[in-house]
Amino acid sequence: AQTVTQSQPEMSVQEAETVTLSCTYDTSESDYYLFWYKQPPSRQMILVIRQEAYKQQNATENRFSVNFQKAAKSFSLKISDSQLGDAAMYFCAYRSGLDAGNMLTFGGGTRLMVKP
């Protein structure tokens, strides 16, 4: 079974600064997908970014980018120019590429606080 670990329960960043959230995972599969989801106080999970394991290039979405290290099984999220609206819980998630379904395995989450 796959596991996802987020070792930082809480992180804090100054507005306009850069912060990196860590995620490691354990799998024996070579084909899989990784995601970062954001959960603000409204509770709705919002997809931030996704990465296909077969792609060597790191995914980027505006101020959000990932550092995907397949051999190390590491998938960190970098948020540049942090904004107050970035404050939320962030979850790293894994999905097998072998399964046609959409079962996600989540990490425990990192609470990000943004200081004005």
Partner 1 sequence: KAGVTQTPRYLIKTRGQQVTLSCSPISGHRSVSWYQQTPGQGLQFLFEYFSETQRNKGNFPGRFSGRQFSNSRSEMNVSTLELGDSALYLCASSHNNGEGMNTEAFFGQGTRLTVV
Interface residues toward partner 1, by CB under 8 A: 33, 35, 37, 42-47, 50, 91, 99-109
Q: How far apart are CA 26 and CA 72, in angstroms?
A: 10
**Choice between 85 and 101, CB closer to partner 1:** 101
CB of 13 to partner 1, least distance (A): 23
**Choice between 103 and 113, CB closer to partner 1:** 103
**Choice between 77 and 82, CB closer to partner 1:** 77
**Choice between 38 and 82, CB closer to partner 1:** 38
H/E/C letters for each residue in the chain? CCEEECCCCEEEEECCCCEEECCEEECCCCCEEEEEEEECCCCCCEEEEEEECCCCCCCEECCEEEEEECCCCEEEEEECCCCHHHCEEEEEEEEECCCCCCCCEECCCEEEEEEC
CB of 18 to partner 1, least distance (A): 25
CB of 66 to partner 1, least distance (A): 14
CB of 116 to partner 1, least distance (A): 27
